[in-house]
Amino acid sequence: MKIATIKELLDAEVVCGEELLEKEVYSACGSDMMSDVLAYVKDQAVLLTGLVNPQVVRTAVMMDMVCIVFVRSKAPTEEMIELAHESGLVLMKSRKRMYEACGKLYAGGLHGNGEQP
């Protein structure tokens, strides 16, 4: 799925990385606990979270993720935006809650951990 499709499905606003919206992603995970994200198998993944601190971006970079979507209208700080820009990450924010956002992506064909429908 293209990141641009995620933007549409979640009615999200791009905060950083607009030029990367045509990039393909293959899986997603939703968590506010970065320890859970570290245990997650990576593969060009999207992270959905309501946690707003620089560690979120650092974790995504370490796990080779390509996009972070902040749910519940959370907005990244300037420090996070700068880190994401330097790392080539897309940052988006959506008003949707975590449960609804994950459900929309799953129903749209993006599954967790590379699983097929």
Q: Strands 67-70 and 90-93: what pairing?
A: parallel
Q: What pLDDT is attached to residue 42?
A: 64
Q: What pLDDT is attached to residue 11?
A: 98
**CATH superfamily ID and name for 3-110:** HprK N-terminal domain-like (3.40.1390.20)
Task: Extract the tokens encoding 68.
Answer: 């972070």
Where on the phi/psi map is residue 98: left (φ > 0), alpha (ψ -120 to 50), or beta?
Answer: alpha
Average pLDDT of the chain is: 91
User: Averaged over 35-64, what is the pLDDT?
Assistant: 87
Tell me the C-alpha to C-alpha distance, in Å, between residue 35 and each of 31, 39, 52, 56.
9, 7, 15, 10
Q: Which amino acid appears at position 17 of this protein?
A: G
62-117 pLDDT per residue, tens:
988 999 999 999 999 999 999 999 999 999 999 999 999 999 999 999 976 655 54
Q: What pLDDT is attached to residue 111?
A: 76
Residues 6+ apart with CB under 8 A from 82: none
* Residue boundaries of the structural domains of the chain: 3-110
Q: Which three-class secondary structure state does DSSP give residue 46?
A: strand
